[in-house]
Structure 1
Amino acid sequence: MNRQPWIVLSEGDNVAVATAVIAPGAPVGDGLTAREKIDPGHKVAIRDIPLNTPVVKYGQAIGRTTADVKAGDHVHSHNLHFENDRLSATASAAPEVATEADKTRTFMGFRRADGRAATRNFIGIIASVNCSTTVCRAIAEEANRTLLPLYEGIDGFVPIVHGQGCGMSSTDDGMHTLHRTIAGYARHANFGGVLMIGLGCEVNQLTLYGQSGAGPSKRHFNIQDAGGSRRAVALAMGVLKEIAEEVGHARREPIPVSEIVVGLQCGGSDGFSGITANPALGAAVDILAAAGGTAILSETSEIYGAEHLLRSRAVTDAVAAKLDDKISWWEKYVALHGASLDNNPSPGNKRGGLTTILEKSLGAVAKGGRSPLTAVYGYAERVTEHGLVFMDTPGYDPVSATGQVAGGANMIAFTTGRGSCFGARPAPSFKLSSNSALYQSMEEDMDIDCGTIVTGDATIAGKGREIFELIIEIASGKQTKSEAFGYGDNEFVPWHLGATL
């Protein structure tokens, strides 16, 4: 068991990470003592680091010193700053492998008529525009009160609402992104049926999504045509009853694990995220990918500085080039707005021990394990390749997860070191805490405690196997803690691009 209050993550690192409070004068290595208090998750120099010298963690540069740093000093924002140093990608250990038994595993899911696999059986009420959001919520509330008790096979009626759809160009990137995102939700396998509601005069017209009446499981109408808000709710009840009659008798059946698609998210990261929860999730991803399943790594602004590690694992030059293009776009995008990608670490991240975007990115990339990178997708594009794939999204969790779900993720795995609260209906979302203190203080929100890796009570590989088993259980219907509380109705946030007119 690892009872020393620090850990060195890679040979060649010149900092260690405190795993517990290190008092001034306490040992942090052979013949070395701390020169000041070091909080858990924060960095301590294990050798002298002169001014303007790379600080190395995970075997990679995370920035450069802004002052001479002595062995035993606290290394953080006061003496370390962002700089675009990237050490060469080194050969990493082989990914965790799936056993022959893993490859034949199944989960108990819903098989749709078109052959797709679902982990939940919801009915969606989707707003085409901000003007119809209140009516969509009213419809969902009434349907959950009056219809849901009649159909054992339905998990719930879910309002998918947002603040866009009008006051925007009908031809720019913003409209294309919104349309692609909503279309992805409308066809999502976890929705057995969908009712889309518009106002009637918006830019994002319902006719863009196909003809109403094409099938009882996919319907739409405008509030203006229904005669007003209350009449729209009444009309919706009749339509939803027809949809419920079709999908409400669905039952779970065995489906290969190769049809599980997991979106990977991290939020409220701390100094332990890249040591415990993220690599443990990465180990689970390796097993899932080797068994034929799919994992979607995203948050382009949060892999910045570590993208070369992903690039080195691309299965083709074309995949690597597409990742390069996404990074280049982000550099231009933030510069256009007078910002820097190093603005990304939040105050909470920094209190938890993270200093630069490079440090955060190196830990974030660990969620993707060590599997080959098989494809790179634009935001909310339909994911068709198996294995580890990348989707271009912002680092803001609701926007990023919305893109993943639109692309087909039927589950979200969310690591956190600070206690992010999140859901992503219709995809169940489960939480992995990076430290045990968080798990103990917010156990009602956390599904797995990965902090036991630091104490030596668990290994990354062992925790990865535990996460893989949980993925199968959740896909089979086990309710996550976020689901139990009711998260997921407010986290549909399409990426807002383009001018507001």
Structure 2
Amino acid sequence: MQPDQKIKASQPAARDTVRLNPDDNIVIALRDLKIGTQPSGLNVPLRDQVLRGHKIAIAPISAGENVIRYGQIIGQAKADIAAGDHVHVHNLGMGAHQQDYAHATANTPLPHIGEERSFLGYHRSDGKVGTRNYIGILTTVNCSGSVARFIAEAASKRGLLDPYPNVDGVVPIVHGTGCGMSAKDDGYATLMRTLAGYAQHPNFAGILLIGLGCEVMQVASLVDGRPIREDGALRYMTIQNEGGTRRTIERGLAEVEGIARLANQAVRKPARISAITVGMQCGGSDGYSGITANPALGYASDLLVRHGGTTILSETSEIYGAEHLLTRRAETPEIGKKLIDRIHWWEDYTKRNGGEMDNNPSPGNKRGGLTTILEKSLGAVAKGGTAPMRDVYRFGEIIDKKGFVFMDSPGFDPCSVTGQVAAGANLIVFTTGRGSVSGYQPTPCIKLATNSEMYARMSEDMDLNCGDIVTDGVSIEAKGEELFEMLIRVASGDQTKSEELGFGGVEFVPWQIGAVM
């Protein structure tokens, strides 16, 4: 069953612990608790010191018995656990992973909200709407990355955009691949989808595409016979054909100025919020993530879907153990099976590369209270709300359906967001408990803090505090509505903290699959 958001919705600040589901045999500490004290929610004193966000057994749990959180299995006891014990990596392990997928058995459509809501966006010729108005310098290969940066830096130093106030900036999109790879495998196809997706992204008013000339990922392969941009705002060149670095920079600056003249004609105009596509991410998660920020984002996701918009859940390796909650919500059994096919691919992928699906949570996740990937995943899927899952997409594949969808990706945050942006996300919402810092040009990123302590410590990086769900009794619904209104403001031009700080220069990370040769 779906983790119960109602139980999580409001917890008064006076409580020491929270039990998220009546079937749970553990509670979550809401503050640091000392050994020997008897917090609310327990009938016995604590046998260990327990930090906030960590788990406490409320009844004896025998070795091999399931540990339950959200009403779901998060692992099995590795040893006998007594009531009042701290439940964590020392006594809780992964256990067997078997699920009843029950495809398409809980896919009730959400009622449409008829109220017309709008944001101010940039209308493109292909019918998409941008939330920003950048010029992109897109590279086919690592060898052209420095030249792309040189062009962007020169444009800034010369004040090239000063006469064009409607242009938000020049964004070099550089990466570390494009050569030393097969031209026939899944890795090549994935990079091709990713670059093509960025080339036609609505937050770019135009694109300058730069290659070296001899790489595997050829400029011609991207542009020949491909109507990447219907508006014609795509220019391309190779360093070898231009005659080297200096000549490429000079011509590149001329091309950027030509694109800027076109881009400056775009102005923000009202657009239906159904044109918003949100990529949903979590990173640096903690024990509060599945209680506060993730379900609040899930509520906002449902609101956007009810208005006709689109939300993308990803990070396949971090929904492992909770995929059965998504397959139940699949619009058809075939869509549910598409997700399980990706899960099986991942099981094989990690095995043949000497890894395992339970290589998560990270050390920081564990310090924040998470123990197994099952526990982390159950909190992570809360970002997806309750809407039916309309389809499952490959990494960077253009999203062509409205509503809630899933896109396959690694759990590595910058790589996963890269795929979502390539797929068309014009906003990113990122929840974090430990304090992740990053940004994803050309798409603005809204950061949600899962706990009030981290928010106070890192308020210059966080856009919204969801910790007040625990500290002040704010409801999931109220916080979700607050986030929904923030989405509209940011889509209309309000800057996020990561934009103010200038993030986005190193976060383009295409997923590299296959041999490096």
Quick check: 2:16–2:29 contact (8 Å CA) kept in 1? yes
CA drift of 1:457 comes to 3.2
d(CA) in 2 for partners of 1:189 and 1:228? 31
Aligned to 2:398: 382
Aligned to 1:470: 486
d(CA) in 2 for partners of 1:357 and 1:221? 45
Match of 2:79 among 62, 67, 83: 67
Aligned to 1:210: 223
Match of 2:168 among 131, 143, 155: 155
CA gap of 1:216–1:377, structure 2 versus 1, over 3 A, is closer
Task: Provide TM-score, normalisation by structure 1.
Answer: 0.97
Match of 1:17 among 28, 35, 59: 28
d(CA) in 1 for partners of 2:92 and 2:42? 24
d(CA) in 2 for partners of 1:63 and 1:93? 27
Alignment pair present for 1:4 and 2:18: no
1:63-142, aligned counterparts within 5 Å? 63-85=75-97, 99-101=113-115, 104-142=116-154
Partner AA of 2:353 in structure 1: H
Quick check: 2:136–2:173 contact (8 Å CA) kept in 1? yes
Alignment pair present for 1:254 and 2:276: no
Alignment pair present for 1:55 and 2:71: no
Quick check: 1:137–1:159 contact (8 Å CA) kept in 2? yes
Match of 1:398 among 405, 411, 414: 414
Partner AA of 1:65 in structure 2: A
Over the residues paired in the alignment, what is the CA RMSD in angstroms? Answer: 1.8
CA drift of 1:100 comes to 3.3
Q: Name the SS of the counterpart of 1:384 in structure 2.
A: coil
Quick check: 1:92–1:370 contact (8 Å CA) kept in 2? no
Quick check: 2:42–2:58 contact (8 Å CA) kept in 1? no
Does 409-418 or 87-96 show the bigger shift? 87-96
Quick check: 1:61–1:87 contact (8 Å CA) kept in 2? no
Q: Name the SS of the counterpart of 1:168 in structure 2.
A: coil
Partner AA of 2:488 in structure 1: I
CA gap of 1:249–1:19, structure 2 versus 1, over 3 A, is same
CA gap of 1:36–1:96, structure 2 versus 1, over 3 A, is farther
Quick check: 2:101–2:327 contact (8 Å CA) kept in 1? no
Quick check: 1:97–1:287 contact (8 Å CA) kept in 2? no
Partner AA of 2:114 in structure 1: E
Quick check: 1:151–1:248 contact (8 Å CA) kept in 2? yes
CA gap of 1:349–1:371, structure 2 versus 1, over 3 A, is same
Q: Name the SS of the counterpart of 1:394 in structure 2.
A: coil
1:364-383, aligned counterparts within 5 Å? 364-383=380-399
CA drift of 1:224 comes to 1.1
How many positions carry a matched residue from both structures? 499
d(CA) in 1 for partners of 2:268 and 2:168? 12
Partner AA of 2:34 in structure 1: A
Quick check: 1:61–1:86 contact (8 Å CA) kept in 2? no
Quick check: 1:375–1:389 contact (8 Å CA) kept in 2? yes
Does 448-457 or 62-71 show the bigger shift? 448-457
Aligned to 1:492: 508
d(CA) in 1 for partners of 2:502 and 2:369? 31
Partner AA of 1:137 in structure 2: R
Aligned to 2:184: 171
d(CA) in 2 for partners of 1:87 and 1:184? 34
CA distances 1:176-198 after superposition (whole Å, capped 9, x unpaired): 11111001000101100000111
CA drift of 1:456 comes to 3.7
Does 230-239 or 301-310 show the bigger shift? 230-239
CA distances 1:145-201 after superposition (whole Å, capped 9, x unpaired): 322222111011000000001111111111111111001000101100000111111
Quick check: 2:29–2:54 contact (8 Å CA) kept in 1? yes
CA drift of 1:96 comes to 8.0
Aligned to 2:455: 439
Q: Name the SS of the counterpart of 1:148 in structure 2.
A: coil
Q: Name the SS of the counterpart of 1:415 in structure 2.
A: strand
d(CA) in 2 for partners of 1:86 and 1:454? 32
In structure 1, list runs of 5 or more residues that go unmatched: none
CA drift of 1:83 comes to 1.7
d(CA) in 1 for partners of 2:108 and 2:88? 32
1:425-464, aligned counterparts within 5 Å? 425-464=441-480
Task: Provide TM-score, normalisation by structure 2.
Answer: 0.94
Quick check: 1:62–1:85 contact (8 Å CA) kept in 2? no
Q: Name the SS of the counterpart of 2:206 in structure 1.
A: strand
Q: Name the SS of the counterpart of 1:149 in structure 2.
A: coil
Alignment pair present for 1:316 and 2:332: yes
d(CA) in 1 for partners of 2:512 and 2:108? 39
CA drift of 1:338 comes to 2.0
Between the aligned residues of both structures, percent identity stands at 52
d(CA) in 1 for partners of 2:240 and 2:344? 44
